[in-house]
Structure 1
Amino acid sequence: MQTNISRVSVTEKALEVIWELERKYGELMFYQAGGCCEGTQPQCFEKGGFFPRMNDAMIGTINSHEFWIDRDLFEYWKYSHFTLDVVDGFGPGGFSLETPLGKTFKIEYKLFTPEEFENLEPVKRSE
């Protein structure tokens, strides 16, 4: 039996920042928008601190926290695996919870093989 392939993963370095944010804020959520001010920087909020738009895609979880992306961005990147990483510095958004730590989350993308794409975990859509 084939297991479903995850659409999102996290580096150890990013996970350490997430643990720090969990201790301070509790439950979290991630949202990656598709343009304007925040560009495509993934943002981290307290759970419920951001409301996904209708038909945005929840592509998986990171340490049990939902990872949402903009519906239009998902259509562009649905063939890609997202790996959440973190770097020193300030991203363009500034609203994300890691910003006061002098960190910014970023995404590394890898295209799925055709076989992987056929066996992906299902996507949840907001209503």
Structure 2
Amino acid sequence: MIKRLDITEDAKKVIQELATKHGDLMFYQAGGCCEGTQPQCFEKGGYFPRMNDAMIGLAESYEFWIDRDLFEYWQYSHFTLDVLDGFGPGGFSLETPLGKTFKVHYRLFSDDELKNLEPVKRSE
């Protein structure tokens, strides 16, 4: 099965640091508004996915959710979670006090990859 989500080594380090400080985490990438489409990191349960949002994979064992409308647009794309120095818009995400911001890099799946994608989990 082809994974929909990968994580850079830099992002893994920040996730481990956040998990040590905050415990279980979760990620959510919204479709717009305040934070745009920047992925946000919360303490697990700190954000509640809406009905039919998509969980596309695990970021270091923590669920990575995508807004249902955004997923419809990006469902044919592979996500790579990365982290950059600096502050993203807003500042709701747990990495903000570290002077970091999560970012996703996208690429389209090949035709062969599309035939063997991991399934997504939908919120109810």
Query: Tell me, what secondary structure is at the counterpart of 1:72?
Result: helix
Corresponding position: 1:112 with 2:109: yes
**How big is each residue's C-alpha offset from its partner over 1:53-77, in whole Å with a ceiling of 9 and x where there is no partner?**
0000000101110000000000000
The one-letter amino acid of 2:34's match is: C
Q: Secondary structure at the match of 2:51?
A: coil
> Percent identity at matched positions?
77
Q: 1-side partners of 2:50 and 2:99: how far apart?
A: 28
Equivalent AA in structure 2 for residue 68 of structure 1: W
Helix, strand or coil: the match of 1:36? coil
Letter in 2 for 1:64: S
* Aligned equivalents of 2:79, 2:21: Cα separation in 1: 25
What are the within-5 Å matches in structure 2 for residues 21-100 of structure 1? 21-100=18-97
Aligned match of 2:120: 123
Which amino acid in the other structure matches residue 64 of structure 2?
F
Offset, 1:118: 1.0
Report deviation, 1:93.
2.8
* 1:11 aligned onto 2:47: no
Question: Aligned equivalents of 1:93 and 1:74: distance in 2?
Answer: 22
Structure 1 gaps, min length 5: none
**Runs of 4+ with deviation above 2 angstroms:** none
Q: Secondary structure at the match of 2:18?
A: helix
CA contact (8 A) 1:85 1:108 kept: yes
Aligned length: 124
The C-alpha deviation readout for 1:19-78, integer Å capped at 9, x for no partner, is 100100111000000001100000000011100000000001011100000000000000
Contact 1:39 1:93 in 2 (8 A): no
Equivalent residues of 1:57, 1:71 under 8 A apart: yes
